[in-house]
Structure 1
Amino acid sequence: MSPSFPGSPDKTRDTLLPKLVPKPWIPANAPPLILRDTLVVDPANSVILDGRYDITMEGGLITSVCPTDEKKTLTSTYAPEELESPPVVVNVSGKFICPGLIDCHVHVSAVPGVKTMSELVQTPEELVHLRSTYVLREMLMRGFTTVRDTGGASKALATAISEGLITGPRLIQCGKALSQTGGHADFGPTKSGDSGCCGGHSQSLGRTCDGVPQVLKATREELKGGADFIKVMCGGGVASPTDAIETVQFTAEEIRAVTTTCTQMGNKHTTAHAYTDASVLHAIQNGVRGIEHGNLVSRDTAKLLTPHTVQSMAEKGIFLTPTLACYGIMVRPPFEDFLPPEGKVKNEQVMARGLDALKIADEEGVTICYGSDLLTSMHALQTEEFTVRSSVLSSPKVLQHATTNAARMLGDSKLGRIAVGCYADLLILDANPLVDVTVLDYPEKHLFAVIQGGRVVSSRLYGLPEEKRR
C-alpha cells in the first residue's frame, strides 16, 4: 500500500478536473443560443429577408433559420445531460442581424505603443506578440469576426485564437510577406554597418529573398510553417524607405517560382502588393490571384486586355482588396508624424487616385474585398473604410466587400452569410447596413452584440449576457 502524502490524489477534487487536461484553456461547448424576432440581413442578394426570423446556433454553427410566425418548438439537438447549461433564448425585438464582418487586409503585428514607422520596425518581437493580443481583441469587439493578415501573423497565433487561448477574430495568415532586397518589406540597413533610414530591420512583417532558389526556399518555409496563403511585394510602397511607388519588384521567374510552388503545395492562394498598372500586370501575368491596394490601376488594366489574354480581372478570378481610408488616417492628427517626409509624398500620390480606381474596378466587375491596412493605434479606425468607400459606391456593394466577396476569396462558404450550416458569426445592429453602411463605422452607437462561433463575445443587449471565460 503506497503512503499518502499531503496533496496526493487520495480524494476527488472535482473543481480541478477541467484543468488537468493537456490544453485547459479550450472552452467548453457554448450553450445553444436562439435569437428570436430578428430581421436577417442577406448581403449576397442585398435584401432583408421577408418577415422576422428565429436563428438557432449550436456547436459554433447556425442550425436553424425559421420564420418567427411559424411558432416552432425550438429545441436543442443535444441531450439535456450533454448541456452544461440550458439554451439561451433572447427576443431581439426586430433588430438587424448581419453576418460577421471580414477584413481582408490587416497587420495585427503592427502594434500600438509607438508613434512613428521607425519605432514600429524596431519593436522587440516579444513585445509585438504580447501587444498583438490587444489588437486582435479590439478587432473582434468592432464586429470583425474574421480577418486576413497580409504580413506578420503566424499559424501559432491563429491556433491560439481558435483554441480560445486568445480572444480575437478567426485569423487567416500568410506568415511573413516576401520582399526582394530594397523592396516594400525591407526595412533593413541601406548598407553594411548603417542603421538605415528607419533605424533597423523589422522581422515582424516580412522577409527578404533574392533569386529563384531563395524565393523557393522562403515560400516553402512559410507554407511549412502553416501559412494559409503567400503574399509577394510586387511594387513599391508608402511606408517602405527605399522604393518608389513606380518600381516593379521581383523578376517574372521569381514570381512564377512562388505561384508554381503554391499550386503544387495544396493550391494555396497568392496575392501581391501592387499599386500601378505595371506591378499589377506583372503579378497577374505570372500567376498571382489577388491584388492588394491597386490605387493607380487604369481601366485597361482592370480589363486586362493584353496580347496574351482577353480575360478581364473578373473573368480570371482575380480578387482586389483596396485599402483607402489608411492614407488619410496616416497624415492627420495624431498620426501626422508617423511617416517620414518621403513617405508622405508617396502617400499623397496613391491617395489621389484611390477612389477612381475603386470605381473603375467596380464598373468592370472585379470582385472587391474589404481591407483596412492600418498600423499601430490607427487600428481603432478600422471601420472608417466603410465611410470612405460609401462616398463612391452604394451601401449594398460595400457591405458585400466585407462579407460575400471576402468569403469567396477565402474560399469558405460558411463565412459571410446567415444560413444553416454557416459559422454562427453574427452582429446585432439597431440600423440597416444595406440602407446606410456607415452605421458599421459607429459600432459604439449601432452595434449591440458580437457573436462569434455561437459565443457572445460582446453584448449590451438586455437578456444576452457575454460568455464568461473560465
Structure 2
Amino acid sequence: MKKQLAFALSVSIASAASAQEERFPILFTNVHVFDGVNAERIENANVLVVENLIAEVSTEPLAAANARIINGGGRTLMPGLIDAHVHMAVTEPVADLRDNYDWMYWGAVSTIEAEKMLLRGFTTVRDAGGPAIGLQKAIDRGKAVGPRIYPSGPVISQTSGHGEHRVYNEPHPNFMGAQPSFFNQHVEFLADGVPEVLRATREALRMGATQIKVMAGGGVSSSVDPLHTVQGLPEELEASVKAAADWDTYVMVHAYNDDSILRSLEAGVISIEHGQLMTEVGAQAIKDADAWIVPFYSLLGLDEEVVKTALGPAAAPKFLAVQEGARNQMKLIKEFGIEKVAFSTDIIGDPVALTKQNDEFKYRLEVWTSHEILQQATSKSAELLALSGKLNPYPAGQLGVIEPGAYADLLLVEGNPVEDVELLVDYEANIDLIMKDGAIYKNTLD
C-alpha cells in the first residue's frame, strides 16, 4: 500500500509538471459557467485556456490551434475553491507536533495533506499561521502538489496569549534565549510591547509572509488563555497594522469576542478571523468599519472526542463554547447585512477531520443561499486575498472568477452547485475535473 501511494504521488507530480511544460491550449466545450459572481450561469458556453490563464469565455464556438478539447457534457465549470483560513502545517495533533516530531516530519505530512486539499477542489488557500512558507515555495516551483498558498508565517502573540503552546516549565524565548519547539519551527512569535511587535511583524514579512496574523483574544487550542481575554494592547495592534501597511499589506486577527473585535478594528485591522462569540455590538462594529469577517462553521460537525484528540483535553470546554456561539453568529452576520464574508474552515490537528473540509458548504446553508456561499468560496475570498497588495504572490491574473485574464483555476462539477452547493460536499463523486494554473490534476472524463 505504501509503495502504491508513493507511486501515485510521483505520477501526480510528474503529470502536473508535464502539463505545465507543454502548455497546449485547452478548450472546454458544452459547459454551463458559474463565473464566481453572478447567480445566473452562462449556459452552453465555451472556455479557452491558454497557458495558465483564461483567454476567452463565449457562447459562440471557439477554436485554437493544437487545442485539447474537453467536452463538459453539460456540467458546471466554476472557479477553483478558496479557503481563507487554514493551517497547512498543523495537520496532526498539536501536542505531537510540538513534542514528538522534527521539521522533516512536518514537511512530509504537510506535503501529503496539501495534495489532498487540492483534490478536494481548493486551488487557493490563505494560511493563517505556521511554517507554510517553505511548502508554498515547493508547490509554486513544481516540487510538490497543492493549492496556491498565501502564507502568514509565524503568528504573533503576547505572552500568555493564543500563540502560547509552551509546556508549563519551558522557558520564555525572550527571557533566557531558549527556543521552545514551536518557536524554532516558525509556528509563533511571542511579542510584548511595541518594539517587540514591530520586530515580530517585520521578521514575518522578511520570511515571506503575504499578510500578518496577530492573536487578539483567547483561543481553543492554547491552554493558558481563557476565551474572555483580550490580547494585544491598542498600541501593539496598531504597531503591527502600521508595519504591515508599510509593506502594502494588512493584519488579520484571531478574535472571538466583542472586546477583541472592537479593539482590533480601532487599531485599523481589516480582517476579523472567527468571531463566533460576538454579539450585536461586534456585528455592528464590523459592518461600520467595512471590515471582513472570516468565520467557520465546520466545527458544528465536530464532536468533543475529536477535539480532545486534535487539541488536547483542556481544549474541549472552550471548543464547546465556541461551537455553541456559531449559529448565533451566522444569524447576526445575515441580519446586519455584512457583505464581506469569506469562506474558511480552520480545521487543524486531525487528518480525518480535514477530509470533512467540504462539509462547510452544508452548514452555511442554514442562513445563506447556495449562490451566496459559492461567492464566498470564490470571488469574495479572492477579493480578501488580493489585499496583500504588492506582496501578492500571484499577480498575473485574477483568482476566484472565470473571465478573460483570470487564472485558469477551474472545477468541472456534476450538476448545478449554484442551486445546490451541497454537491461540493461529496467532492470525490461530483468534482470531475480539477485544474490549477492551467494544469489538470484530476480528470475522470477521459
| Residue 297 (structure 1) shift | 1.1
Q: What is the distance in 2 between the residues matched to 1:166 and 1:192?
A: 35
Asked if 2 retains the 8 angstrom alpha-carbon contact of 1:186 and 1:201, the reply is: no
SS at the partner of 2:139? helix
**Partner residue of 1:75?**
64
Determine the C-alpha separation between the residues in 2 that align with 1:330 and 1:129: 28
Q: Counting helix residues as a fraction of each chain, which structure ranks higher?
A: 2
Partner of 2:292: 319
What CA distance in whole angstroms lies between the structure 1 residues aligned with 2:170 and 2:106?
A: 26
CA–CA separation in structure 1 for the residues paired with 2:355 and 2:269: 31
The unaligned stretches of length 5 or more in structure 1 are 1-23, 77-85, 195-199, 305-312, 463-470
Structure 2 gaps of 5+ residues are: 1-16, 173-179, 387-394
Asked if residue 134 in structure 1 is aligned to residue 124 in structure 2, the reply is no
Query: When the two structures are superposed, what TM-score results if normalisation uses the length of structure 2?
Result: 0.87
In structure 2, do the counterparts of structure 1 residues 259 and 193 end up closer, same or farther at CA, with 3 Å as the change threshold?
closer
Is 1:100 the counterpart of 2:80? The answer is: yes
> Deviations along 1:22-78, whole A, 9 cap, x unmatched?
xx99951421111101100133122212x31111101200001111xx334x014xx
**Aligned residue for 2:406?**
422
2:393 counterpart of 1:404: no
1:359 partner letter: K
Is 1:156 the counterpart of 2:144 in the alignment?
A: no
Counterpart residue identity of residue 62, structure 1: I
For residue 343 of structure 2, the aligned residue among 351, 370, 387 is: 370
Paired residues in the alignment total 408
**1:341 counterpart SS class:** coil
Task: Supply the distance in 1 between the matched residues of 2:19 and 2:337 (Cα, whole angstroms).
Answer: 43
> Which amino acid is 1:272 matched to?
V
String of CA shifts for 1:313-368, please: whole Å, max 9, x gaps.
Answer: 245331111022135425255x6533433311101111111121122113323211
TM-score of the pair, normalised by structure 1: 0.83
Q: Does 1:56 align with 2:48?
A: yes
Contact 2:97 2:106 (C-alpha < 8 Å) held by counterparts: no
Cα RMSD over matched residues? 2.0
1:119 aligns with 2:96: yes
Residue 288 in structure 1 maps to residue 280 in structure 2: no
8 A Cα contact 2:94 2:311, kept in partner: yes
Aligned partner (choices 234, 242, 259) of residue 278 of structure 1? 259
Asked if 1:338 is matched to 2:307, the reply is no
- The answer to whether the 8 A contact 1:143-1:450 is kept is yes
Indicate conservation of the 8 Å contact 1:241/1:343, yes or no.
Answer: yes
Q: What pairs with 1:181-260 in structure 2 (closer than 5 Å)?
A: 181-192=159-170, 201-203=181-183, 204=185, 205-260=187-242
Distance 2:31 2:434 in 1: 15
Letter in 2 for 1:32: P
Q: In structure 2, what is the Cα distance between the partners aligned to 1:25 and 1:423?
A: 18
Q: Following the alignment from structure 2 to structure 1, what is the Cα–Cα distance between the partners of residues 197 and 168?
A: 21
| Cα contact 1:187–1:201 (8 A) shared by 2 | no
- Structure 1 runs of 4+ with >6 Å offset: none
**SS of residue paired to 2:182:** coil
* Cα separation, 1, equivalents of 2:417 and 2:305: 27
Q: Do the aligned partners of residues 417 and 192 (structure 1) sit closer, same or farther apart at CA in structure 2, a change above 3 Å counting?
A: closer
Partner of 1:435: 419
- Change in CA separation of 1:328 and 1:166 when aligned onto 2, cut-off 3 Å: same
